[in-house]
């Protein structure tokens, strides 16, 4: 698996995330906002409410974490703020109600997802052989 020039060497710290990752995260935000604020009859029901909330924000956390690159804390904060903001807005939507417990489940899902995305970076680097190259350099010096 080849690494492009923007993600290799010292420039990798300033590399910008791909527009497709940002677009996917924005699409997920739009979908979650619609499902959260639409009339209850239009909302799909796939599992229990808490499982759906957790899974939706877990996926959003992963997408936001991947789109943010090395700015994982910013992505996490954005997902948590979105969880509480959408839950508050739900209180203004006719026929819907806001609950702190729902917001906490959403925020937890987002934090777990963003953390998983950030933990994937060193794992992928190790699988690509990044750790092996460092060991080879140590052997060459000895």
pLDDT at residue 1 in the model: 43
pTM tops 0.85: no
Sequence-ordered list of residues with C-beta below 8 angstroms from that of 54, at least 6 positions apart, any chain: 105, 106, 108, 109
Residues of the chain with pLDDT under 70: 1-15, 130-142
pLDDT of the residue at 97: 86
Predicted pLDDT of residue 134? 52
Give pLDDT, residue 110: 96
* Residue 75, C-beta contacts closer than 8 angstroms, at least 6 positions apart: 61, 64, 65, 67, 68, 114, 117
User: What integer pLDDT is reported at residue 15 of this predicted model?
Assistant: 62
Per-residue confidence (pLDDT) for residue 10, from 0 to 100 = 56
């Amino acid at each position: 698996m080849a690494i492009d020039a923007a993600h290799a060497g010292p420039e990798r710290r300033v590399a910008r995330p791909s527009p497709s990752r940002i677009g996917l995260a924005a699409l997920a935000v739009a979908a979650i906002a619609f499902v959260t604020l639409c009339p209850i009859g239009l909302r799909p029901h796939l599992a229990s409410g808490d499982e759906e909330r957790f899974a939706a924000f877990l996926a959003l956390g992963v997408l936001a974490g991947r789109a943010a690159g090395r700015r994982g804390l910013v992505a996490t904060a954005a997902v948590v703020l979105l969880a509480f903001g959408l839950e508050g807005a739900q209180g203004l939507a006719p026929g819907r109600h806001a609950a702190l417990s729902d917001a906490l489940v959403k925020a937890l899902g987002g934090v777990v997802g963003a953390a998983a995305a950030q933990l994937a970076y060193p794992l992928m680097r190790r699988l690509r052989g990044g750790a092996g190259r460092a060991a080879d350099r140590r052997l060459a010096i000895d």
